[in-house]
């Protein structure tokens, strides 16, 4: 992104990206218990955003870890009752209530629900100087919220960290649980660069978007 400020604190329409993301989840469920995992250096900044929102149920905050795995693990440590758990990237602020509801319903039925979309690009795999094509219909691009019942997710995160744990799906599969994939949304982009930021700003201007 070329910014010292973590992406979730960059502004869109004068509000941090994190603010927009939280608002969609609060709009989706009135009884949501939200845990926001924040970088230690910007913990007070994140807390101030959560306090400004003034949700019906207070938003819990906790500092993150050195990797996504450790940050999720710390967030999960605050869950004290059986539940459906959404793990969501703070910078996916274009998530919709309909996708959140869909993931919840599928997780209730199957134990998990991980949204993904098809690859629209041709894909090749590199092996040294050699490369070969992969049939793109076999490729899925993973999104969040990666959604699990707590009886599956919490025990899975009792394991030790491994480099292959790039998301919650990898951790759950390591614990020998199958993961149920569901259709994601094209607009549910992860803001990683300036172009993504501009796209998100324009999409948030559309009248059908909740914010």
> What CATH code is carried by the domain that includes residue 73?
3.90.550.10
**Is 211 inside any structural domain?**
no
**Is 209 inside any structural domain?**
no
Six-digit token pair at 29? 């469920």
| pLDDT at res. 57 | 80
**Is 156 inside any structural domain?**
yes
d(CA 169, CA 179): 7
Angle between helices 17-28 and 97-110 (to 10 degrees): 60
**Is 197 inside any structural domain?**
yes
**Is 2 inside any structural domain?**
no
**Is 11 inside any structural domain?**
yes
Section 54-70 average pLDDT: 92
Number of structural domains (the chain) is 1
Section 66-83 average pLDDT: 97
The CA distances from residue 90 to 20, 25, 55, 145, in Å, are: 9, 11, 17, 10
Question: What is the four-CA torsion angle of 160, 37, 143, 14, rounded to 10 degrees?
Answer: -160
| pLDDT at res. 208 | 56
The 10s digit of each residue's pLDDT in 77-129 is 999 999 999 999 999 999 999 999 999 999 999 999 999 999 999 999 998 88
Q: Compute and round to an integer the Cα radius of gyration of the chain.
A: 17
Six-digit token pair at 108? 């209730």
Asked whether the predicted pLDDT for residue 143 surpasses 70, the reply is yes
Six-digit token pair at 130? 């050699």
**Is 210 inside any structural domain?**
no
pLDDT tier at 56, thresholds 50, 70, 90: confident
| pLDDT at res. 207 | 61
Burial class (CB in 10 A: 0-12, 13-18, 19+), 91: buried
Interacting residues of 186 by C-beta distance below 8 A, sequence separation 6+: 117
pLDDT tier at 55, thresholds 50, 70, 90: confident
Range of the domain at 193: 7-203
Count, in order, helices (H) and strands (E) of the chain.
7, 11
80, 65, 83, 90: which is closest to 144 by C-alpha? 90
**Is 1 inside any structural domain?**
no
d(CA 64, CA 37): 5
119-124: long-range contacts at Cβ-Cβ below 8 A with a sequence spacing of 24 or more? none
Asked whether the predicted pLDDT for residue 34 surpasses 70, the reply is yes
């Amino acid at each position: 992104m070329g910014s010292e400020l973590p992406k979730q604190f960059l502004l869109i329409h004068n509000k941090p990206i994190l603010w927009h993301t939280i608002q969609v989840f609060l709009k989706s469920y009135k009884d949501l218990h939200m845990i926001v995992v924040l970088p230690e250096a910007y913990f007070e900044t994140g807390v101030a955003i959560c306090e400004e929102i003034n949700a019906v149920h207070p938003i819990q905050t906790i500092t993150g870890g050195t990797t996504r795995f450790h940050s999720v693990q710390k967030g999960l440590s605050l869950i004290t009752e059986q539940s459906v758990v959404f793990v969501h990237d703070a910078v996916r602020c274009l998530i919709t209530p309909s996708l959140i509801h869909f993931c919840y319903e599928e997780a209730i039925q199957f134990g998990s629900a991980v949204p993904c979309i098809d690859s629209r690009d041709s894909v090749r795999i590199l092996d040294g100087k050699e490369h070969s094509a992969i049939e793109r219909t076999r490729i899925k691009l993973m999104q969040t919220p990666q959604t699990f019942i707590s009886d599956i997710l919490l025990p899975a995160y009792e394991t030790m960290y491994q480099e292959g744990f790039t998301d919650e799906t990898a951790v759950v599969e390591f614990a020998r649980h199958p993961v149920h994939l569901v259709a994601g949304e094209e607009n549910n982009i992860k803001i990683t660069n300036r172009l993504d930021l501009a796209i998100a700003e324009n999409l948030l201007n559309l009248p059908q978007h909740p914010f």
